[in-house]
Amino acid sequence: MARKAFLLRIDPAVLAAVQTWAEDDLRSLNGQIEYLLRQALVKRGVKLPAREPVDEPAPEASETGDDGRPVAG
């Protein structure tokens, strides 16, 4: 499913609080806002389609060591 961008006007104090919350939860601000909206929709009984997993490229073999960690360089 494609994502749609839109402009959001928000009180600066609310934005700062959500940004801090996002950082605490290790999410982006956008991810935190979507998470909160999804929670609110579920609470209202709205059924949403399952989210599609984000495809992340796998590191190439030359980029990781024997332990699977990235190789500095």
Q: Is this model's pTM higher than 0.85 or not?
A: no
Compute the residue count for the chain. 73
Query: Residue 64 has what pLDDT?
Result: 61
DSSP-based three-state secondary structure for 70: strand
The average pLDDT across 13-30 equals 97
Contacts of 36 (CB under 8 A, 6+ apart): 18
What domain count does the chain have? 1
Query: Residue 54 has what pLDDT?
Result: 64
Q: Which domain holds residue 38?
A: 11-46
- The answer to whether residue 54 is domain-embedded is no
- The answer to whether residue 28 is domain-embedded is yes
- The answer to whether residue 70 is domain-embedded is no
Query: Residue 1 has what pLDDT?
Result: 66
- The answer to whether residue 30 is domain-embedded is yes
- The answer to whether residue 37 is domain-embedded is yes
Q: How many CB atoms lie within 10 A of CB 63?
A: 11
Query: Residue 2 has what pLDDT?
Result: 83
Helix segments in 1-73, DSSP class H: 12-24, 29-43
- The answer to whether residue 34 is domain-embedded is yes
Predicted confidence (pLDDT) per residue in 41-71, tens digit: 999 999 988 877 666 555 555 566 666 666 6
Query: Residue 49 has what pLDDT?
Result: 85
- The answer to whether residue 4 is domain-embedded is no
